[in-house]
Amino acid sequence: MNGRSVLIVDDEVDLRDSLGEILGDEGYQVFAASNGREAMSLLQAIPRPSVIILDLLMPIMGGNEFYRALRATPALADIPVLISTSDPLAGPACVPVVRKPVNLEHLLSSVAKLGRSATTSSPH
């Protein structure tokens, strides 16, 4: 696995499953959550992900709220995030975005790039 893992946080089951399968085929260990609260809990139980793919519009805890909570948690604050949304202006500034419907080539290259930067800059 090379320590390559991805956490997908999206309430769309089919999209989450499809992305998980594609990323798994690319050699990533994939974890998934249906909302931000579930993702925050999951982050305490799984190996540290190389990248988090984050939807913005979700029930219970949306993507922007999750992003703020993630950045406010010192042990998790430096995990790279890739926003996956149909409204790229709705997310936090300076965070990479993959527009929905997802272009798989762009998503895979973005995940690989963010994952590389995480492994070179993170002490974990």
How many Cα neighbours within 13 Å face the side chain of 42? 17
Parent domain of 22: 5-121
> Residue 51's domain is classified under what CATH number?
3.40.50.2300
Per residue in 63-113, pLDDT tens?
899 999 999 999 999 999 998 888 777 777 778 788 887 778 888 888 888
Q: What is the pLDDT of residue 44?
A: 93
**CB-count burial class (<10 Å; 0-12, 13-18, 19+) for 99:** middle
User: For residues 51 and 115, is the Cβ–Cβ distance under 8 A?
Assistant: yes
pLDDT tens digit sequence for 43-54 = 999 999 999 999
Give the CB-side neighbour count of residue 102, counting CA atoms within 13 A: 23
Dump pLDDT digits (tens) for 3-13.
Answer: 689 999 999 99
pLDDT at 24 over 90: yes
Tell me: pLDDT of 119 over 80.
Answer: no
Q: In whole angstroms, what is the distance from residue 13 CA to residue 99 CA?
A: 17
User: Higher pLDDT residue, 25 or 1?
Assistant: 25
Secondary structure letter of residue 28 according to DSSP: -
